[in-house]
Amino acid sequence: MRSVAYFIISIFALSCAIAAVNIDKYDLYCFNGGNCTLNNLIVTGNTSNLTINDITLNVTQSITLNNTEIKDWNEIGNNLNYIDPINYIQLNTSWSNGHSEGRLHWNSEDATMEIGMAGPDVNLQVGQEILLRTKNNDLVDIPNCKVVFLSGASGSKPEVQIVGTEDPFRVGQATIGLTTEDIEQNQLGYVTTYGLVRDCNTLEFSEGSALYLGYNGTFTDTPAIAPNASIFIGLVLRSHLTEGIIFVQLDKQSLLGDLSDVYTASLNNYDILQYDSTDLRYENTNTPTFNHLTSLDNIFYNVTKEVSLEPSSFKLAGSNPADSIAIGAFSALAFDKTTTEYAYSSVHVPPDYSNETDWQIQIYWSANDATNDQVSWCVDYAMAREEQGYINSVPSTVCVNDTNQADPYLLLETSRINVSGIGVYRDDNFGFKVYRDTSQDNLTTDALLVEISVYYNSDRLGYSI
């Protein structure tokens, strides 16, 4: 029987040596469950016109093709279990005849092999993307291009639901990718965990934009702010209303407490991490121990501090000083309505001052008056540096208006007046005089200065004023 098979093959090889050949319904049988070997099949003619249709190989075990080139076989019988060995398979790089589930063909656009997956809409570009077959166990259908998280499992299939920044952090951390097709509720469908997802609405984003997890399965070009989960989804490759393309490459930001050398328990406000050499890890505490801290001079932070100036700290000098009076348990400086009166003070710029940052002045005052009249407070100020500045330099002026509340002796406060800090450094001297600009207000009684607060920015620990 083997000689008969060899004779048929020989005729087949000979018939292929002409310029144009069509061979239809050619059967090769291997009898008695044996192995058939097809050796050195050579087509010498114009192979571009060679078509071999419906070759049926009825083989119960195996067939071996040695040095044989297979070109344009439209169908190989279902009884072929495997081909071994084979040197290569040359795919048709001009293929454009559509997709089909289970079909392997060449994708010339993406320059790779492509496999038709289950369902009519999904194809796997080999080596360029990773797909995960999932089950939709959400309460709604999940459209294409929705961000989903791993919500559980059903048998051997992972389950997914829509995820968004409105969900708890741990849910966001379970984000696995974008749906690459519409998945009906309780049905199976594919999620792309790496690679291209097509037919998305990316019109509002420019090409090359980074995308992050947004609200309710959407994506945004703005990363979420803690404590929401910040999940990098990928990049926009094409901006389009219906044909947008997203390159998916997830990157999830972890919690600080998830690091392998960090242990946090019962977190409280103002806790910090401190290393424990016994447990070989960082632990949270609100009572840290500083064993090697010898000075606070070089520990920096940023906070606003206040210097309060009471009436007793003012110098009542010059031609028209304000009157110092007592009102109950308070002392005050009384500024007359008809005469412009002055009070002087100075502040030594503290050693924790953040150089060249602005100052602010706020005035606390009162009046024995039952009207809603307005008072105009002004401050002339100047800066002087030891052995470099002059105390008689021309001052700058800032003013603020405030309205009486028609309630005698009610303690009032102005808004803060901003004072430029350009050129001001630690250990400088800040001198100023306060007065009431009677030409700009209409309060008919004395304006009573109770206190002035001077605010400045501090950038280091270890100093008190």
Answer with the residue of higher pLDDT: 241 or 439: 241
Count the Cβ atoms, other than its own, within 10 Å of residue 432. 24
Answer with the residue of higher pLDDT: 196 or 74: 196
- Asked whether 58 and 79 are in contact (CB, 8 A), the reply is yes
Answer with the residue of higher pLDDT: 448 or 171: 448
Answer with the residue of higher pLDDT: 82 or 265: 265
Percentages helix, strand, coil for the chain (3-state, rounded to 5) are 5, 45, 50
CA proximity to 364, closest of 400, 323, 411: 411
Tokens 């600009």 belong to residue:
437
| Mean pLDDT of the region 94-99 | 80
CA proximity to 433, closest of 323, 318, 354, 350: 318
- What pTM was estimated for this model as a whole? 0.52
User: With the C-alpha atoms ordered 112, 116, 121, 122, is the resulting torsion angle positive or negative?
Assistant: negative
Q: What is the pLDDT of residue 45?
A: 45
Q: What residues contact 291, with CB distance under 8 A and at least 6 apart?
A: none
Residue 224 pLDDT greater than 50, yes or no: yes
CA 119 to chain centroid, in Å, comes to 34
Q: Which of 30-39, 102-111, 185-194 has the lowest mean pLDDT?
A: 30-39
Q: What is the pLDDT of residue 293?
A: 61
CA proximity to 403, closest of 368, 435, 438, 441: 441
**Angle, vertex CA 414, rays to CA 401 and CA 432, nearest 5:** 85
CB-facing half-sphere around the CA of 215: CA atoms within 13 A: 0
Q: Model confidence over 174-202: pLDDT tens digits? A: 899 999 999 999 999 999 999 999 999 99
Q: What residues contact 443, with CB distance under 8 A and at least 6 apart?
A: 337, 367, 369, 371, 373, 374, 375, 404
Q: What pairs with residue 281 in β-bridges?
A: 276
Residue 343 to residues 205, 397, 401, 419: CA-CA distances in angstroms?
61, 14, 18, 18
Q: 291: pLDDT confidence band, cut at 50, 70 and 90? A: confident
- Asked whether 251 and 228 are in contact (CB, 8 A), the reply is no
Tokens 């259908």 belong to residue:
141
DSSP letter (8 states) at residue 242? S
CA proximity to 210, closest of 196, 223, 197: 223
| Mean pLDDT of the region 339-347 | 89
DSSP letter (8 states) at residue 254? P
Could you tell me whether strands 262-263 and 210-213 are parallel, antiparallel, or unpaired per DSSP bridges? unpaired
Residue 19 to residues 14, 137, 360: CA-CA distances in angstroms?
12, 60, 97
Q: Which of 21-25, 268-272, 444-448 has the lowest mean pLDDT?
A: 21-25
Q: What pairs with residue 134 in β-bridges?
A: 189
Q: Model confidence over 128-160: pLDDT tens digits? A: 999 999 999 999 999 999 999 999 998 889 999
| Mean pLDDT of the region 421-447 | 89
Residue 448 pLDDT greater than 50, yes or no: yes
Q: What is the pLDDT of residue 67?
A: 52
Q: Where do the domains of the chain lie, and which CATH numbers do they carry?
A: 2-90 (no CATH), 129-252 (2.40.300), 303-460 (2.60.120.260)
Residue 54 pLDDT greater than 50, yes or no: no
Residue 5 pLDDT greater than 70, yes or no: no
Dihedrals phi, psi of 100, to nearest 5 degrees: -155, 145
Residue 204 pLDDT greater than 90, yes or no: yes
* Separation between Cα atoms, residue 130 and residue 193, nearest integer Å: 6
Residue 323 pLDDT greater than 70, yes or no: yes
